[in-house]
């Protein structure tokens, strides 16, 4: 069973399609791992054991149905699922069910994917954490808000999982746990049926062990085979980007970016320094303004009628929305539009940017999920971002960098991320069977 769960999703998909691997056996291997590790990691809010086995058996008995045929995946508990509760990590929604799947879940099932269960989220994908722990050191946070999805993938409990990103909820936890986190271009993956917090910022994200894995997942959901990443890709042109938030990065994170630049240049990439236009200096505050305005109003019914069931931290955050004027909101949106208009100039001579994916290692303690400051601007810019593990920090936990692409240039971004990841110092899943 250990050999099965340590295959890449790409390798497993090939074997499942060739009938060299039974979907039921593959699903049962992950269920066995979950049973062994759930009490330590707490990645799942709901485990659909019987539904998954039944679906796997049906797939084994019928034709190959799509790119994701027989691949189990986890669904963040902010996505509607027709056969499992969707509770958003909140007491307000205890036992809540819906008769339909979120669009991306429906598409993944249509491509042959098997929902193994609902993964833990922070409360309504915001700030208060729930019970998930870092799979490599349970005294540290796995990050959030997609905490259960990232922990399950990092702990070999799932090959693939969905997440969301409003501030940094895909890229940051992936960096903390040493897996691949892919935040596509805004709205590339449909959001219908994914509970909202900020419509301007919310983006569906994906987790996997390798870049080709998340690319396969996206290709299967969207029915776009051109998103898949080959094992061998050409060297990209990389711009090292310290960003205006550089002062928040720990010394070891700052060193990791510099070391990555040297390593990539030695491997044949064209590497240069990129300084963002001055307009980008206003982006962080603008993002905070937009997120605050929209989150409080999006969660208005929960806040106004069910505030007593909210965690105090979230209740206080929602209250802040009413301090943001409409004029300030529109001004912040305009800052984002101006910065997005400058992106073609930023990317004129490069394929991707490389920047910190988090401020440093996963913080110790379980009462918060870490600082998203290295992600917020990119979420507001709507660019595709891929978090890749790069080095180990002083506590032995991963340090992640993010590969950032131009708007709507997800194919190039994924290919560049794959090439870069293969040349990083830290290779947590280097023993994967990629055949």
CA distance 95 to 85: 6
Q: Which domain holds residue 133?
A: 2-227
Contact 272, 402 (CB under 8 A): no
The confidence score (pLDDT) of residue 429 equals 87
- Active site residue ranges: 76, 145, 169
pLDDT per residue over 251-287, tens digit each? 999 999 999 999 999 999 999 999 999 999 999 999 9
Residue 66: which of 107, 100, 30, 102 has the closest Cα?
107
Residue pLDDT tens, the chain, 435 long = 789 999 999 999 999 999 999 999 999 999 999 999 999 999 999 999 999 999 999 999 999 999 999 999 999 999 999 999 999 999 999 999 999 999 999 999 999 999 999 999 999 999 999 999 999 999 999 999 999 999 999 999 999 999 999 999 999 999 999 999 999 999 999 999 999 999 999 999 999 999 999 999 999 999 999 999 998 999 999 999 999 999 999 999 999 999 999 999 999 999 999 999 999 999 999 999 999 999 999 999 999 999 999 999 999 999 999 999 999 999 999 999 999 999 999 999 999 999 999 999 999 999 999 999 999 999 999 999 999 999 999 999 999 999 999 999 999 999 999 999 999 999 888 768 765
The confidence score (pLDDT) of residue 6 equals 95
The confidence score (pLDDT) of residue 118 equals 99
Q: Does residue 160 form part of some domain?
A: yes
Count: domains in the chain? 1
The confidence score (pLDDT) of residue 434 equals 62
Q: Does residue 130 form part of some domain?
A: yes
pTM (predicted TM-score): 0.98
Q: Does residue 256 form part of some domain?
A: no
The confidence score (pLDDT) of residue 246 equals 98
CA distance 83 to 98: 8
SS3 66: coil
SS3 306: helix
SS3 208: strand
Q: Does residue 46 form part of some domain?
A: yes
Which segments of 178-320 does DSSP mark as H helices, in order? 211-222, 251-266, 283-298, 300-306, 312-320
User: Which residues lie across from 386 on neighbouring strands?
Assistant: 182, 403
The confidence score (pLDDT) of residue 432 equals 84
Q: Does residue 402 form part of some domain?
A: no
CA distance 50 to 413: 38
- The β-bridge relationship of strands 352-356 and 237-241 is parallel
- Cis peptide bond N-terminal to 160, omega within 30: no
CATH of the domain at 50: 3.90.1300.10
């Amino acid at each position: 069973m250990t050999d099965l769960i340590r295959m890449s999703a790409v390798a497993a998909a090939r074997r499942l399609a060739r009938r060299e691997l039974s979907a039921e056996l593959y699903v049962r291997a992950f269920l066995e791992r979950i049973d062994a590790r759930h009490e330590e990691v707490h990645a799942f809010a709901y485990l659909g054991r019987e539904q998954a086995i039944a679906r796997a058996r049906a797939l084994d008995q019928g034709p190959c149905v799509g790119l994701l045929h027989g691949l189990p995946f986890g669904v963040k508990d902010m996505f509607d699922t027709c056969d499992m509760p969707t509770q958003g990590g909140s007491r307000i929604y205890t036992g809540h069910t819906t008769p339909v799947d979120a669009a991306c879940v429906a598409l993944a099932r249509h491509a042959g994917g098997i929902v193994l269960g609902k993964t833990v989220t922070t409360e309504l994908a915001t700030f208060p954490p729930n019970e998930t722990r870092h799979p490599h050191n349970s005294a540290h946070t796995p990050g959030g808000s997609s905490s259960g999805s990232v922990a399950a993938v990092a702990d070999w409990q799932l090959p693939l999982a969905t997440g969301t990103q409003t501030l940094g909820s895909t890229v940051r936890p992936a960096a903390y746990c040493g897996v691949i986190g892919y935040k596509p271009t805004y709205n590339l993956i449909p959001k219908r049926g994914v509970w909202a917090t900020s419509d301007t910022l919310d983006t569906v994200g994906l987790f996997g062990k390798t870049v080709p894995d998340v690319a396969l997942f996206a290709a299967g959901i969207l029915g776009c085979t051109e998103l898949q990443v080959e094992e061998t890709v050409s060297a990209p042109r990389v711009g090292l980007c310290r960003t205006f938030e550089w002062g928040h990065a720990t010394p070891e994170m700052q060193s990791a970016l510099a070391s990555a630049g040297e390593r990539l240049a030695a491997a044949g990439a064209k590497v240069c320094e990129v300084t963002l236009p001055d307009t980008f200096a206003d982006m962080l505050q603008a993002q905070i303004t937009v997120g605050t305005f929209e989150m409080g109003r999006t969660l208005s019914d929960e806040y106004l009628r069910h505030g007593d069931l909210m965690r105090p931290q979230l209740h206080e955050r929602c209250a802040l929305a009413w301090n943001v004027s409409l004029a300030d909101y529109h001004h912040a949106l305009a800052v984002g539009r101006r910065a997005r208009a400058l992106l073609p100039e930023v990317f004129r001579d490069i394929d991707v940017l490389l920047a910190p994916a988090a401020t440093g290692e996963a913080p110790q303690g379980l009462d918060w999920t870490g600082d998203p400051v290295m992600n917020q601007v990119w979420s507001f810019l709507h660019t595709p971002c891929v978090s890749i593990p790069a080095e180990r920090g002083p506590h032995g936990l991963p340090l992640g960098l993010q590969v950032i692409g131009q708007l709507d240039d997800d194919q190039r971004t994924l290919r560049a991320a794959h090439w870069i990841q293969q040349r990083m110092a830290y290779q947590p899943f280097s023993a994967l069977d990629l055949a």
